[in-house]
Amino acid sequence: MQKKDLDKLKSFVRHFAITAVAVYTVNPDADWKALIAGAVAGVVGPAIRAIDKNDPAFGKVADWVEVEIDKLAKKSAKKAPKKKA
């Protein structure tokens, strides 16, 4: 499993859990169907990001952004002054 796919899965699980807790907190007497429905609704946001090809976290742009960030990090590491002993 690629890192990007694992990040997507973590995002789905995180939003699912947060929304389930929120639904339960608001209505502790809710049946399990209401909890599942609310939690599934919470996954809509990450799902939209996952299918958006221009999303900077998960889309096609993410690979390019990651490469550019790595380049900048390497440049700044070379320019950083070394500590004197």
pLDDT at site 81: 63
Read off the tokens for 8.
């997507």
Which of 7-16, 23-32, 49-58, 75-84 is least confident? 75-84
Q: Is residue 85 domain-resident?
A: no
Domain that holds residue 67: 3-79
- pTM for the model stands at 0.56
Distances (CA, A) of 43 to 8, 11, 27, 78, 84: 11, 8, 19, 41, 51
- How many separate domains does the chain show? 1
Q: What is the pLDDT of residue 84?
A: 66
Does residue 26 fall inside a structural domain? yes
With cut-offs at 50, 70 and 90, classify the pLDDT of residue 63.
Answer: low
User: d(Cα 55, Cα 31) in Å, to the nearest integer?
Assistant: 35
